[in-house]
């Protein structure tokens, strides 16, 4: 079954989204991620979307929901690697990534999370 | 165009393979990766294959070649996240990942690379 890998890096988990999201894959990701947060006692989640050319309302909501789930499990979420065109589209469409922090890239995201989980 | 993201983590680059590899994608990855090694002055490359259920001779050769390219650019390559079934198949098919180091997961791979690039 298709699934998105979740990589552990110390107290953080890294998710790299590089395939088209659909309902079932999004649900599998949320299941896997919440399970891994608990199992690995993760304190932060990095979601990399550097290969996504488009972030529509479905993906936006999926990311918001994932961040909200992580939050109730005491983990912070940072979205990294957003392409300039995606940022433009998000604002033009009026989509807000509610409750999601962003950082330029994985390195900056790790720094941001490390400050928050200290 | 479809491409595999390359994430920078300090002196290391992380590549997560989660889509089916084909000729063009493999070539794009090798182009991108060699370019990034030089641009980011990376000393190590982690290739995560935790979502791959199958590693055939094509993927095996692609990984070996990528590691060899990284090596001439002074970067070490570690393959991480191999599934048990993949390890079994590799040995049964007699495929050797020539010149490629392996580690259980990203964390162990990072530790291995950090020792080598000191």
Distance, CA of A56 to CA of A49 (rounded, Å): 12
Residue A24 lies in a domain: yes
Question: What pLDDT, in 10s, does the model give residues B63-117?
Answer: 999 999 999 999 999 999 999 999 999 898 888 888 899 999 999 999 999 999 8
B8: enclosing H helix or E strand: strand B6-9
In a domain, A1, yes or no: no
pLDDT digits (tens, 9 = 90+) for A16-58: 998 878 888 888 999 999 999 999 999 999 999 998 888 888 8
How much of chain B, in percent, has pLDDT values that exceed 70?
A: 99
Task: Tell me whether residues B7 and A16 touch, CB distance under 8 A.
Answer: yes
Q: Tell me if B7 and A51 make a contact (CB, 8 A cut-off).
A: no
**pLDDT of A1 strictly over 80:** no
Strand order in the sheet with A12-16: A6-9, A12-16, A44-48, A76-80, A101-103
In a domain, B1, yes or no: no
Instruction: Select from A3, A14, A105 the Cβ nearest to the Cβ of B8.
Output: A105
Banded model confidence at residue B40, pLDDT cuts 50, 70, 90: very high
Report the C-alpha gap between B14 and B44 in whole angstroms: 9
Whole-number average pLDDT of chain A: 91
pLDDT at residue B43 in the model = 95
B51: nearest CB among A3, A9, A48:
A3
Whether B64 is covered by a domain: the verdict is yes
CATH of the domain at B113: 3.30.750.24
Beta strand B12-16 pairing with B6-9? antiparallel
The closest alpha carbon to A112, from A46, A34, A41, belongs to: A46
Domain hosting residue A33, numbered range: 6-113
Question: What region, left, alpha or beta, does residue B74 occupy, with left being phi > 0 and alpha being psi -120 to 50 degrees?
Answer: left
Predicted interface score ipTM higher than 0.90: no
Number of domains composing chain A = 1
Q: Residue B51 has what DSSP assignment?
A: T
Strands (E), chain A: 6-9, 12-16, 44-48, 76-80, 101-103
Residue B13 lies in a domain: yes
Is beta strand B6-9 parallel, antiparallel or unpaired with respect to B76-80? unpaired
Q: Does B111 touch chain A (CB under 8 A)?
A: no
Which residues between 40 and 69 in chain B have a beta carbon less than 8 angstroms from any beta carbon of chain A? 48, 50-51
């Amino acid at each position: 079954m298709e699934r998105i890998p979740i990589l552990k890096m110390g107290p953080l988990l890294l998710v790299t989204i590089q395939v088209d999201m659909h309902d079932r894959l999004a649900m599998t990701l949320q299941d896997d991620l919440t399970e891994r947060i608990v199992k690995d006692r993760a304190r932060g989640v990095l979601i990399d979307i550097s290969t996504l050319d488009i972030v529509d309302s479905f993906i936006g909501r999926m990311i918001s929901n994932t961040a909200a789930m992580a939050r109730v499990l005491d983990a912070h979420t940072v979205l990294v690697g957003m392409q300039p065109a995606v940022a433009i589209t998000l604002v033009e469409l009026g989509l807000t990534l509610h409750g999601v922090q962003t950082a330029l890239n994985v390195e900056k995201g790790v720094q941001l999370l490390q400050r928050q989980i200290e």
